[in-house]
Structure 1
Amino acid sequence: MQIKKIAGYLPDKYSKYADKTFTFSNQPIVSFPIELADLPNETQFLALTLVDYDAIPVCGFPWIHWVVTNIPVTEHIPENFSQTDTQSVRGKNSFGSPFLEPADDKLVEHYVGPTPPDKDHHYTLTVYALDTKLALQNGFYLNELRTKLNQNVLDQASIEILAKK
Structure 2
Amino acid sequence: MKISADFTRLPDKYGKFADDSHKTDGYPTTSFPFYIDSMNSAVRYIHLEFVDDDAIPVCGHQWIHWAVANIPVDALMFDFNDSHALQIPEDFSRQLPSLIPEAVQGRNSSWGKIAQQTNPSVTMRYNGPQPPDKDHDYKLCVYGTAQPFKELSEGFYLNELRNLVFRTDAVIDYGEIYFSSRAH
Task: Name the TM tier (shorter chain).
Answer: over 0.9
User: In the TM superposition, what is the alpha-carbon distance from 1:147 to its structure 2 partner?
Assistant: 1.2
Kindly report which structure 2 residues correspond to 1:3-152, keeping only aligned pairs within 5 A, or say none.
3-5=5-7, 8-73=8-73, 74=76, 75-86=86-97, 87=100, 88-98=103-113, 100-135=115-150, 136-150=152-166, 151=168, 152=170
Q: Is the 8 A contact 1:4 1:10 kept in 2?
A: no
Q: Is the 8 A contact 1:4 1:11 kept in 2?
A: no
**TM-score of the aligned structures, taking structure 1 as reference length:** 0.94
Partner of 2:181: 163
- Structure 2 segments unaligned to the other structure (5+ residues): 77-85
User: In the TM superposition, what is the alpha-carbon distance from 1:39 to its structure 2 partner?
Assistant: 0.8
Report the secondary structure of 1:146's partner residue.
helix
- Structure 1 segments unaligned to the other structure (5+ residues): none
Counterpart-to-counterpart distance in 1, 2:112 and 2:171: 27
Aligned-pair identity (%)? 40
User: In the TM superposition, what is the alpha-carbon distance from 1:100 to its structure 2 partner?
Assistant: 4.3
Deviations 1:61-107 (A, max 9, x none): 00000000101114111110000012211110011225542421001
Which of 1, 4, 28 is matched with 1:2 structurally?
Answer: 4
Report the secondary structure of 2:131's partner residue.
coil
- RMSD (Å), alpha carbons: 1.2
